[in-house]
C-alpha cells in the first residue's frame, strides 16, 4: 500500500494569508470609522415602506453615501441592521461615517418638517400647505375630508372635516399617511376643546357642531384677538333678533375660485352657506378656528352691536343702528 504524504504549506504562504486578513480587518475598521468624504454635503434619501435590505443599500448607494458596497453589507450584518432599518425620509451628511449612517437608519431618525397651520385656515388651505412640503396628496386629503366612513371613525358629525383640523405647529414626516396626519390634527382639536367648553356651548343653546361653526365664522371675519368677542356679540345679537348673519367670508365659502374681492354677485349666489339668503347658522364650519375664535364664540362681549364694517386695515367699525352702519360704510368706502 502506497502512503501519500501531503506537503505542509510553506510558512510564508500562511503568513501572507494572515497578513491579508489582518490588513483587510484594519481597512474595514478604518473605512467604518471614517467620513464618507470631507465635503460635509447634505444628502436626503427616502426609503419606501416594504423595501428589502438590498434595495435600501442601492438607494443609499445611488445617493453617493456608500463608498464600498461589500463593506457596507458586512458592517450592516455586524451591527444587526439588515432587518432593523425603518422606512422614511432621512437627511444624511457625507461627514458621517458608514457606522453612523447605519445607526441613524436603525434608530429611525426620520427627517421631520415643522409646519405652522395658522388659525382660521380652511381645510383646502391646510391641504395646500401640507402638499407644498410633499407631506400629503392634496386630492387624497380633500377626498378624506368628506369621506363619511372616515369622519365617523373620528367621531365627527356632518359632511366635512372642516372645523376640526386644529391650527397649531406640527412636526410631520413623509412616512405618515394622509389619514394619520388628519387624525393627529383632529386629536389636537379634542385636547383643546374641553368638555367644559362644550358644556358652555350647550348653555348658550349651541350644539358642538354649531359652536365650531360660529367660531369658524368669527375667525374668518377678523384676525384681531380683541375684536373677536365683539364680532361674536354681533352674531349672537342678530340670531336673537332673527336677523340674517350677512357674513361675507361665509357667503363665498365653497364658491369656485374663492374670490378675494367679494362682489354683489357673490352675495346673491344661492348656496347653503350664504347667510345673506339663509336663516341662522350655515350647515357647518367654514374654516378651522383657533383658541381665540373658539373662546370668543363661548364668551361674546356684552355689547348691543348689530353691524360691523371693515376699516380697510383688518380691523372693523361696529355700530348698533343701521343708520350708523351706513355712515361707517360710506366713510370707509370713500377712504378705500
pLDDT tens-place string over residues 257-311: 555 667 677 777 888 888 889 899 999 999 999 999 999 999 999 999 998 888 8
Please choose, from the candidates 197, 212, 186, the residue with its C-alpha nearest in 3D space to the C-alpha of residue 126.
186
Please choose, from the candidates 130, 162, 131, 129, the residue with its C-alpha nearest in 3D space to the C-alpha of residue 145.
162
pLDDT tens-place string over residues 108-119: 888 899 999 999
254 and 230 within one domain: yes
Cα–Cα distance for residue pair 58/238, rounded to 1 Å: 66
Structural domain ending residue among the three candidates 66, 86, 107: 107
pLDDT band of residue 139 (cuts 50, 70, 90) is very high
In a domain, 315, yes or no: no
Point out the least confidently predicted range of 163-177, 223-237, 303-317.
303-317
Angle at 247 between CA 245 and CA 249, to 5 degrees: 155
Strand partners, 173: 112
Structural domain ending residue among the three candidates 131, 160, 192: 192
98 and 132 within one domain: no
| Number of structural domains in the chain | 3
In a domain, 215, yes or no: yes
Handedness of CA 264, 269, 273, 277 (dihedral sign): positive
204 and 242 within one domain: yes
Classify residue 226 by its DSSP letter.
G
213 and 126 within one domain: no
Cα–Cα distance for residue pair 293/300, rounded to 1 Å: 10
Structural domain ending residue among the three candidates 161, 192, 223: 192
Range of the domain at 298: 197-305
**What average pLDDT does this structure show over 172-199?**
95
Given this model, what pLDDT does residue 244 score?
92
Q: Is the pLDDT of residue 78 over 70?
A: yes
Place of cell 350655515: 282
Cα–Cα distance for residue pair 274/264, rounded to 1 Å: 12
161 and 220 within one domain: no
Q: Report the CATH number that the domain containing residue 32 is assigned in CATH.
A: 3.30.1490.480
Q: Which of 20-24, 46-50, 243-247 has the highest mean pLDDT?
A: 243-247
- With contact defined as beta carbons under 8 Å apart, do 172 and 115 qualify? yes
Mapped onto helix, strand or coil, the DSSP state of residue 268 is: coil
The half-sphere exposure of 115 on its side-chain side, counting CA atoms within 13 A, is: 26
Given this model, what pLDDT does residue 318 score?
84
137 and 47 within one domain: no
171 and 73 within one domain: no
Given this model, what pLDDT does residue 36 score?
84
298 and 210 within one domain: yes
In a domain, 172, yes or no: yes
In a domain, 230, yes or no: yes
Please choose, from the candidates 298, 299, 308, the residue with its C-alpha nearest in 3D space to the C-alpha of residue 329.
308
In a domain, 319, yes or no: no
In a domain, 334, yes or no: no
Amino acid at each position: 500500500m502506497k502512503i501519500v504524504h501531503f506537503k505542509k504549506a510553506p510558512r510564508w504562504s500562511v503568513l501572507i494569508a494572515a497578513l491579508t486578513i489582518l490588513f483587510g480587518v484594519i481597512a474595514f475598521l478604518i473605512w467604518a470609522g471614517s467620513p464618507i468624504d470631507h465635503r460635509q454635503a447634505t444628502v436626503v434619501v427616502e426609503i419606501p415602506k416594504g423595501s428589502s435590505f438590498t434595495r435600501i443599500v442601492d438607494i443609499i448607494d445611488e445617493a453617493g453615501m456608500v463608498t464600498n458596497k461589500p463593506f457596507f453589507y458586512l458592517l450592516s450584518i455586524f451591527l444587526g441592521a439588515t432587518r432593523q432599518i425603518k422606512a422614511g425620509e432621512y437627511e444624511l451628511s457625507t461627514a458621517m461615517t458608514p457606522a453612523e449612517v447605519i445607526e441613524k437608519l436603525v434608530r429611525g431618525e426620520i427627517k421631520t418638517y415643522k409646519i405652522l397651520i395658522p388659525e382660521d385656515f380652511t381645510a383646502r388651505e391646510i391641504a395646500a400647505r401640507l402638499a407644498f412640503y410633499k407631506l400629503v396628496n392634496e386630492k387624497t386629503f380633500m377626498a378624506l375630508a368628506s369621506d363619511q366612513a372616515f369622519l365617523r371613525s373620528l367621531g365627527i358629525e356632518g359632511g366635512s372635516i372642516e372645523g376640526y383640523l386644529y391650527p397649531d405647529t406640527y412636526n410631520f414626516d413623509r412616512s405618515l399617511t394622509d389619514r394619520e396626519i388628519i387624525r393627529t390634527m383632529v386629536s389636537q382639536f379634542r385636547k383643546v376643546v374641553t368638555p367644559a367648553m362644550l358644556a358652555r356651548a350647550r348653555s348658550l343653546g349651541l350644539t358642538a357642531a354649531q359652536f365650531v361653526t360660529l367660531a369658524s365664522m368669527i375667525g374668518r371675519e377678523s384676525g384681531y384677538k380683541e375684536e373677536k368677542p365683539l364680532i361674536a356679540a354681533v352674531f349672537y345679537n342678530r340670531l336673537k333678533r332673527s336677523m340674517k348673519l350677512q357674513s361675507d367670508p361665509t357667503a363665498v365659502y365653497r364658491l369656485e375660485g374663492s374670490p378675494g374681492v367679494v362682489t354683489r354677485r357673490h352675495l346673491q349666489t344661492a348656496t347653503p352657506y350664504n347667510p345673506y339668503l339663509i336663516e341662522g347658522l350655515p350647515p357647518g364650519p367654514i374654516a378651522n378656528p383657533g383658541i381665540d375664535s373658539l373662546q370668543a364664540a363661548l364668551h361674546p362681549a356684552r355689547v348691543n352691536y348689530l353691524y360691523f364694517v371693515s376699516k380697510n386695515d383688518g380691523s372693523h367699525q361696529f355700530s348698533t343702528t343701521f343708520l350708523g352702519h351706513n355712515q361707517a360704510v360710506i366713510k370707509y368706502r370713500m377712504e378705500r
